[in-house]
Structure 1
Amino acid sequence: MKKIEAIVKPHKLEAVKEAVTALGVFGMTVTEVKGYGRQKGHTEQYRGAEILVEFLPKMKIEIVVPDARVPAVTDAIRRAAMTNSIGDGKIFIQNIEGAIRIRTGETGEEAI
């Protein structure tokens, strides 16, 4: 099993959710986060003063899938989240050693 962690722009969350749901992925965890990458934030005007906004709002999406589903799910996320502009985000893939569904006690891929 793998955990796919995607950091995307907030307005792209619904598109990503629809894209992975269309593949049959129904469980995900979403967290509002702030961060920056190569763009190092941006400047805004506030009451006539220029302010540097270093940490930009993003959404972190976490999904656990069987190994065989990783390419399709990551491609769906990438396509749905892409705006072709700086700050589109990143996708990270990590190994998951195990999973247990608390309610039923199911383990492994049956738990996801």
Structure 2
Amino acid sequence: MKRRFSKLWLFFCLLGSASLGVAQNLPSYYPADFDNIGVVDAVGTRGESLVVGDVFYNVSSETQVHGLRSRKVTLGWIKPGSRIGFTQQGDYIFEIWLLPGDYAAGNKE
């Protein structure tokens, strides 16, 4: 019984680590680290602001946005519930990378 449990436990550990690896596979144009990572709570009515993790940030038409399948996308791709990584200075976001919903920080492969 103990041997059977050990094999089953090993199977689920390997399965879990394999799925984690797939989820973390980001495009080569994504940085290794972000200033911040979070889930978008709200988008300003004219796309001039984002609330991420209950924190207000300003964005502009100059803010660069990167998608998982396209190096350059528009701010219109950012929706409430989107997981993003971004670079910032104060309350201004300079660059945004859309992330998979199950992305865990520090695990880019």
Q: TM-score, normalised by structure 2?
A: 0.21
Task: Say which one has the larger Rg.
Answer: 2
Q: Whose relative contact order is higher, 1 or 2, with alpha carbons under 8 Å and at least 6 apart? A: 1
Q: TM-score, normalised by structure 1?
A: 0.21
